[in-house]
Each structure stands twice: as structure tokens, then as C-alpha cells.
Structure 1
Amino acid sequence: MVRNMAQQQDLDVLDTEELRERALELARRKWDLRFFWKLLGLIPAAEAMAGNQEASKASVAQLSGFVYEALSAENDPGVQEALRPVYIEYLKEHADDV
């Protein structure tokens, strides 16, 4: 507990760029895709909070385009078949939106 408090204080004194670099490097080493995905989801809101409304809208468009392109680039029928349950679950969860 004391060690965690000391680590928290150590992190609090670092500038944002250093925190960013450390977090990204750790996520790369751990192959933590959830962290990267979380960041991608937060970028538009962070831009809006920073007063960059147009950049926020552009980020949503860019991120959705990036994801669509990444998914479209995967032409392996085996991978697509493996993802079939995910597609079905998503469409069922959002049936009212279709």
C-alpha cells in the first residue's frame, strides 16, 4: 500500500508527455490492445474537452474509417467465420438501430 502511494506520487510529478510515453510503451510490451482501443475511443472526447470541436468530429470519422479499413483488409474466410458470433451478438444487441 505504501509502495503504491509512493508510485502514485512519482507519477503525479511527471509531465504528460512522459506519462504518455510510459503508458504506450507498457501497453506495447504487454500487447494490451484494450488500452489502445480505450485511447482511440477517448480521443474525440478529449479533443472536444480541449476545445477542438472540429477535430473531435474528424477523429470520429477517421477512427471509424480506420476500423472499417482494418476489418475490410482481413480477407481470410476462416477469420471472418471465427468472428461470426461477434457480428451476430452485436446485431442482436442493437436490433432496434438496424
Structure 2
Amino acid sequence: MAEELETLSSKELHDRAIERAVRHLDVGFLWRLLKAIPAAEAAAGHQDQAEADVSHLSSILNEFAHAGDGDVADALRPLYIEYLRRAKS
């Protein structure tokens, strides 16, 4: 399982994690993801977006919708992998 997760794209990890969280009504994971997005934006070099996310809920919700895309998804890979590994335990 661990090796399989590592081979998935960041988009695939995002999609699997979100699908599982929604299916299991795992609000805790979704909240952790929302809180992690500004740091992922900063790690991906989008400092201006990270600052906007912290101050505007609508920006965070928009970024949540796109958290599986590009370099932000790459920055969130550890969160997705950890969540999916725990889910299989």
C-alpha cells in the first residue's frame, strides 16, 4: 500500500483522499487540509496567495477546490499520503 501511494500523482492522491473523507464524513481531515493549504501555497512559491488565503475564507474555499492541482498538490502530498495510509490501517 505505501509503495502504491508513492507512485500516484499528487492529483490522484488528492482525489482519493477527498473522496474517502467525503464518503466517511471525515470533517477532521477536511479541516486539516483547509488549514494546510496556506502553508502549501507558500511552499509552492505562491506567497501572495498564501497571505490572501489566511485573511479571506472565500479564498481558502476556492483553493480547497483546487488543492489537487499543480505544485500546491505536490506540497500537500505528505498530508494526502499520511491520511490514506492511516485509512488502510
Does residue 1:60 correspond to 2:54, yes or no?
Answer: yes
SS in 1 for 2:8: coil
Show the counterpart of 1:22. Answer: 16
CA radius of gyration, larger in: 1
TM-score (norm 2): 0.62
Aligned partners of 1:40 and 1:63 also within 8 Å: no
| Unaligned ranges ≥5, structure 2 | 61-89
What's the RMSD between the two structures over aligned residues?
A: 1.8
| Unaligned ranges ≥5, structure 1 | 1-6, 67-98
What is the total number of aligned residue pairs between the two structures? 60
Identity percentage of aligned residues: 45
Q: In structure 1, which of residues 12, 26, 46 is the aligned counterpart of residue 6 of structure 2? A: 12
Q: Which runs of 4+ in 1 moved over 3 A?
A: none
Point out which structure has higher relative CO (alpha carbons under 8 A, 6+ apart): 2
